[in-house]
Amino acid sequence: MLQPLLADRLAGLPGIAHGFFTRRGGVSQGIYASLNCGPGSGDDAGAVQENRTRVAVHLGAGDLLSVHQVHGTTALAVDGPWPAGGPRPKADALVTATRGLALGVLTADCAPILLAEPRAGVVAAVHAGWRGALAGIVESCLDAMEGLGARRPLIRAAVGPCIGREAYEVGPEFEAEFRTRDAASAGFFVQGSAGARPRFDLSGYAVDRLRRAGIAEAHALGACSFALQDAFFSYRRSRVRGEEDYGRQVSAIVLT
């Protein structure tokens, strides 16, 4: 049974369903157990499709769309499913005003962001890894939503499960790049003892980018994908364990 996490900012909005799905409730086996929704993984393709179908049905959607994520800043406005058998377009955000079309992003430590503007009937899903967040994927998504009639002050946003600050140890060059390109990022790095490597608050930074872009109703769920191994897939945890691959959880939103 699927039991996705729900965001207070989005739950209860009329005509909108969403979910930050965990790794539970699917049919995949082994390191992909059980709700692996990543077609780019090495999992059985039939199992991945069944998992994705379960997510679509849970949301009451006719289709579940996701893209070939590339850690960039492209946001696509869509009004229908991809052509059968064709490649998924390369992008890191999806936006729609079409009912019944669930927009999904796949993560395994990166931050998923779901957004809705209920008055205009526009929803979006964003894949925000550190590269995309720093480069401006949030802002690209908001521009695309406005292109479909959304009003920025009315948009609500939630940042879902991703790697937490305590698990996200980074190098000094990582911090230096952030500080050089975005001085406001400084507050999202912490360093414990002298000589320790810095740790980065990805979800906090994503919320800050949303708020700086004019989204007052933005918050993070706060669940750590690395620490909660029974609930979430994690790329970094898979590397620590020496596993050959990893699953991807999906976060999705739909106009019902």
Burial profile 155-165: b = 16 or more Cβ within 10 angstroms, e = fewer = bbbbbbbbbbb
193: pLDDT strictly greater than 90: no
**Residue 203 Cα distances to 64, 128, 135, 249, angstroms:** 24, 9, 15, 16
pLDDT band at 251 (very low <50, low <70, confident <90, very high): very high
166: pLDDT strictly greater than 80: yes
**How large is the average pLDDT for residues 205-234?**
98
pLDDT in the model for residue 217: 97
pLDDT digits (tens, 9 = 90+) for 10-42: 999 999 999 999 999 999 999 999 999 999 999
Domain boundaries, the chain: 16-164+201-255
Is the domain spanning 16-164+201-255 CATH 3.60.140.10? The answer is yes
pLDDT in the model for residue 194: 73
| Residue listed under structure tokens 């507050």 | 187
224: pLDDT strictly greater than 90: yes
pLDDT band at 165 (very low <50, low <70, confident <90, very high): very high
Backbone angles phi, psi at 75, to 5 degrees: -115, 125
pLDDT band at 158 (very low <50, low <70, confident <90, very high): very high
| Averaged confidence pLDDT in the chain | 97
230: pLDDT strictly greater than 90: yes
Burial of 193 (0-12, 13-18, 19+ CB in 10 A): exposed
Burial profile 197-232: b = 16 or more Cβ within 10 angstroms, e = fewer = ebbbbbbbbbbbbbeebebebbbbbebbbbeeeebb
pLDDT band at 85 (very low <50, low <70, confident <90, very high): confident
pLDDT digits (tens, 9 = 90+) for 92-149: 999 999 999 999 999 999 999 999 999 999 999 999 999 999 999 999 999 999 999 9
